[in-house]
């Protein structure tokens, strides 16, 4: 028996059909019937027509093998080996398997859901975001909560999740009201969660409602009002019904005596003379924007602003110097409120045309990608490595000119661009888009 696949490798997109030809030759000396059956991971969406060949000695037959992967997560993107088992009816011991490879093309389909759509709580509430990957390749999704002014604070945890094909990933939403509602029934606060898939130009918005009941219900206020009225009425009746008591007793006449005089108090010492008011100190001159010591020697402190919505400042959140501090964005210039956390010292390394980003509030620390995520955090750098430029890839960035005075900041670990998510929680890296993108274009200047 002799078999051959033509071709032995083929590519097919989910939802379409691709075909190869299977040739079988009877090299024996008797009439033989060959049963053809697909085997392997692709057997569920593989068909052989016809599935039985009856051949005379020396004769050759042909069957068509059709691959029709469904547009679901069952057909995983990438190369998949397959086989067609050829089993002679008369001599099953000489069965053979013709092997080949079919490559399934990728497709993306994502479904996001907020569970539940309405949450309730006086002080706080929690919800969940379910991310269902209906495609055939892994997906990374970033989440951010849009705050409704000062009424709510919506914080996702974690801020990014990865969903494998055919599975769902979940992230928790921590929702806190801006103030406590003491009286007035139940208040409704709408909120929005943005879900952004890696590589997608626009996020998907999920809308929900936070129901905040008051601490004291309305019936309790009615009862308290009635009790207060009753208490005031009781007090008024009490004072009105007090009887007037008179007596007929008279003082007995007798010898009057002079009461002893009260002892005179010692004279009060005169008050001390008023102390002279302390002289007002002259106002200190307003500090100029911070500059690194050394004049023109070494890098200068600069600001890094995105090109979106008026320019958000890149910052080390609240000026913390601890490892793991999130690198976020703020729409306002805070000056020295958090210890120069919006000033950056850019170290240039000419050997490989890279830079390191050191915040002014945390000397010796640099901005890096968090391990196994695309989140940007603060981390203490080795002093010698910071000076020589021999830093690990997650701590090094490349400045790419985007034209019109804009710059893209690309991380050396994953070759993704620093992206402004328009919130003050955390910055991330995303796949660099083609052309202009205000969230990935930054302006680097020596002042606010």
Give the model's pLDDT for residue 292. 43
Instruction: Kindly indicate the confidence band of residue 241, based on its pLDDT and cuts at 50, 70 and 90.
Output: low
Residue bearing the bigger pLDDT, 242 or 205? 205
Give the model's pLDDT for residue 246. 53
Read off the pLDDT of residues 299-316 as tens digits, 9 standing for 90 and up. 788 999 988 887 888 899
Residue 70 has pLDDT above 90, yes or no: yes
Which of 194-208, 263-277, 283-297 is predicted most confidently?
194-208
Residue 213 has pLDDT above 60, yes or no: yes
Flag the least confident range among 327-331, 353-357, 395-399.
Answer: 327-331
Name beta bridge partners: 173.
Answer: 127, 156
Residue 57 has pLDDT above 60, yes or no: yes
Read off the pLDDT of residues 399-431 as tens digits, 9 standing for 90 and up. 999 888 899 999 999 999 999 877 766 888 989
Read off the pLDDT of residues 105-162 as tens digits, 9 standing for 90 and up. 999 888 999 999 899 888 888 999 999 999 888 999 999 887 666 678 889 999 999 9
- Looking at the chain, the whole-number percentage of residues with pLDDT higher than 90 is 45
Across the range 201-211, mean pLDDT stands at: 89
Instruction: Kindly indicate the confidence band of residue 278, based on its pLDDT and cuts at 50, 70 and 90.
Output: very low
Across the range 57-75, mean pLDDT stands at: 93
3 state SS for the chain: CEEEEECCEEEECCCCCEEEEEEEECCCCCCEEEEEEEECCCHHHEEEECCEEEECCCCEEEEEEEECCCCCCCCCCEEEEEEEEEEECCCHHHCEEEEEEEEECCCCCEEEEEECCEEECCCCEEEEEEEEECCCCCEEEEEEEECCCCCEEEEEECCEEEECCCCEEEEEEEEEECCCCCECCEEEEEEEEEEEECCCCCCEEEEEEEEEECCECHHHHHHHHHHHHHHHHHHHHHHHCCCCCCCCCCCCCCCCCCCCCCCCCCCCCCCCCCCCCCCCCCCCCCCCCCCCCCCCCCCCEEEEEECCCCCCEEEEHHHCCCCCCEEEEECCCCCCCCCCCCCEEEEEECCCCEEEEEECCCCCEEEEECCCCCEEEEEECCHHHHHHCCCCHHHCEEEEEEECCEEEEEECCCCCEEECCCCCCCCEEECCCCCCCCCCCEEEECCC
Give the model's pLDDT for residue 294. 37
Residue 383 has pLDDT above 70, yes or no: yes
The pTM assigned to this predicted structure is: 0.42
Number of neighbouring beta carbons within 10 Å of residue 183: 11
């Amino acid at each position: 028996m002799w078999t051959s696949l033509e071709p032995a490798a083929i590519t097919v997109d989910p939802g379409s059909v691709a075909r190869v030809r299977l040739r079988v030759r009877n090299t024996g000396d008797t009439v033989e019937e060959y049963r053809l059956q697909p085997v392997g991971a692709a057997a569920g969406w593989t068909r052989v027509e016809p599935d039985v060949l009856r051949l005379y000695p020396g004769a050759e037959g042909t069957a068509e093998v059709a691959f029709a992967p469904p547009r679901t997560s069952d057909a995983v993107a990438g190369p998949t080996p397959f086989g067609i088992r050829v089993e002679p009816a008369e001599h099953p011991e000489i069965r053979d398997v013709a092997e080949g490879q079919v490559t399934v093309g990728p497709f993306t389909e994502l479904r996001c859901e907020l569970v539940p759509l309405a949450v309730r709580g006086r002080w706080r509430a929690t919800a969940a975001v379910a991310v269902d990957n209906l495609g055939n390749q892994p997906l990374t999704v970033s989440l951010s909560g849009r705050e409704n002014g000062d009424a709510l604070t919506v914080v996702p945890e974690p801020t990014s999740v990865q969903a494998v094909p055919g599975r769902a990933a979940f992230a928790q939403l921590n929702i806190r009201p801006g103030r406590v509602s003491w009286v007035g029934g139940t208040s409704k606060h709408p909120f929005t969660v943005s879900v952004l898939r890696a590589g997608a130009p626009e996020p998907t918005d999920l809308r929900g409602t936070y129901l905040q009941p008051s601490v004291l219900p309305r019936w309790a206020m009615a009862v308290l009002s009635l009790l207060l009225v009753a208490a005031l009425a009781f007090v008024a009746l009490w004072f009105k019904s007090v009887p007037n008591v008179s007596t007929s007793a008279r003082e007995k006449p007798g010898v009057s005596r002079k009461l002893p005089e009260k002892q005179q108090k010692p004279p009060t010492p005169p008050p001390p003379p008023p102390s002279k008011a302390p002289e007002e100190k002259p106002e200190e001159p307003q500090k100029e924007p911070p500059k690194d010591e050394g004049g023109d020697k070494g890098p200068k402190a600069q600001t890094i602003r995105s090109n979106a919505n008026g320019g958000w400042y890149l910052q080390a959140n609240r000026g913390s110097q601890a490892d793991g501090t999130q690198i976020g964005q703020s729409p306002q210039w805070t000056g020295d409120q958090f210890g120069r956390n919006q000033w950056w010292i850019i170290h240039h390394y000419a050997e490989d045309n890279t830079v390191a980003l050191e915040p002014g509030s945390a000397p010796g620390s640099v901005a890096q990608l968090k391990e196994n995520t695309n989140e940007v955090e603060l981390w203490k750098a080795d002093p010698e490595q910071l000076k020589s430029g021999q830093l690990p890839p997650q701590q090094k960035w490349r400045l790419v000119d985007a034209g019109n005075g804009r710059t893209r900041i690309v991380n050396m670990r994953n070759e993704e661009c620093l992206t402004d998510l328009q919130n003050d929680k955390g910055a991330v890296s995303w796949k660099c888009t083609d052309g202009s993108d205000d969230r990935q274009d930054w302006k680097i200047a020596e002042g606010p």
